[in-house]
């Protein structure tokens, strides 16, 4: 059975899809846990890895790309070291057993290149922005204005993070095996579809 790697729009329910499909298939589920595993495996500081994580690193990467920061070179070097450590953790976990991975460029890490395992690569999005905003309000406990701001900000961070390290566009369908729209298909149905695909894959 193959691993599943998921990229997702913020507020699309992509994390929940991943959790449900992991439960169905009896697979380990890795989201923020990737950071803990990386810290344990590499000896890197967990606090630094948290600051580097895709939620916060996007704006930093953007600033580094634009600003004439005298420390930019050493900071970029450190960012790549942390990124490579995280990708090494993802590869190691996927080689150990099929798992579900959320974000952090895992769709590229597990593309089958350079001896890495080949995962089912998935992009989860939601075309209904009102529904997406409502989901963010419920999960993040914020009002509508803050939910819309978070939606824009988090997606921008994820796009910048993905582009910086892969040189590819985050939402480009060519980077994925399947894209699922949670505004059309309920989260549970998306999980059922992915579980069915993985069960039938060689």
Give the pLDDT confidence of 95-150 residue by residue, as tens digits: 999 999 999 999 999 999 888 899 999 999 999 999 999 999 999 999 999 999 99
What is the mean pLDDT of the segment spanning 154-178?
93
Q: Which domain holds residue 168?
A: 4-200
Which pLDDT score is estimated for 66?
Answer: 46
Q: How many domains does the chain have?
A: 1
Give the CATH number, domain containing residue 135.
3.40.50.300
Pick from 57-71, 77-91, 169-183, 184-198: least confident: 57-71
What is the mean pLDDT of the segment spanning 1-26?
97
In this prediction, residue 55 has a pLDDT band, given cuts at 50, 70 and 90, of: low
d(CA 48, CA 35): 10
Token match 């579809």: residue? 193
pLDDT surpassing 80 at residue 9: yes
Q: What pTM was estimated for this model as a whole?
A: 0.89
d(CA 125, CA 169): 15
């Amino acid at each position: 059975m193959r691993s599943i790697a998921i990229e997702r729009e913020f507020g699309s329910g992509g994390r929940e899809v991943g959790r449900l499909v992991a439960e169905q298939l009896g697979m380990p589920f890795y989201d923020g846990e990737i950071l803990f595993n990386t810290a344990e495996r590499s000896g890197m500081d967990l606090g630094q890895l948290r600051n580097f994580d895709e939620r916060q690193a996007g704006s930093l990467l953007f600033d580094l790309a634009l600003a004439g920061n005298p420390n930019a070179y050493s900071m970029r070097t450190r960012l790549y070291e942390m990124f490579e450590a995280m990708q090494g953790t993802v590869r190691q976990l996927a080689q150990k057993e099929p798992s579900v991975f959320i974000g952090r460029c895992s769709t590229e890490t597990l593309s089958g290149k350079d001896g890495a395992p080949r995962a089912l690569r998935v992009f989860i999005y939601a075309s209904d922005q009102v529904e997406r905003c409502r989901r963010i309000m419920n999960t993040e406990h914020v009002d509508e204005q803050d939910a819309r701001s978070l939606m824009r900000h988090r997606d921008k961070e994820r796009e910048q993070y993905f582009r910086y390290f892969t040189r590819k566009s985050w939402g480009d369908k060519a980077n994925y095996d399947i894209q699922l729209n949670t505004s059309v298909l309920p989260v549970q149905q998306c999980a059922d579809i992915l579980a069915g695909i993985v069960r039938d894959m060689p």
